[in-house]
Amino acid sequence: MTVKLRKVGNSNTLTVPNSIKPSATKFDVFQGRDGIISFIPKEKNPFRDPEFIATHDLKQKEAFGGPLIGKENPES
């Protein structure tokens, strides 16, 4: 399938064929050194979303418990 770059006002436009069903309506666009143009769906960063932060416990739990011994104990 081939699409043609078109000039619309001050922008260049690439048409998305009907056979492609996008899962998003906003995209980040990047062009690589080799000329490839990539459209990446724009998603909210959950770690900057106040609603997500308020409803999730983001504190790290230690894998090992118990008293510190040896060099990891700052008091020894």
pLDDT, residue 69, reads 67
CA nearest 25: which of 44, 45, 6, 42? 42
For residue 67, give every residue at least 6 positions away whose Cβ sits within 8 Å of its Cβ, in sequence order, or none.
73
pLDDT digits (tens, 9 = 90+) for 13-72: 999 999 999 889 999 999 999 999 999 999 888 888 899 889 988 787 777 777 766 676
Helices (H), 1-76: 50-55
In the prediction, which pLDDT does 7 show? 95
Higher pLDDT, 59 or 8: 8
Residue among 58, 41, 40 nearest 49 (CA): 58
What's the one-letter identity of residue 58?
Answer: L
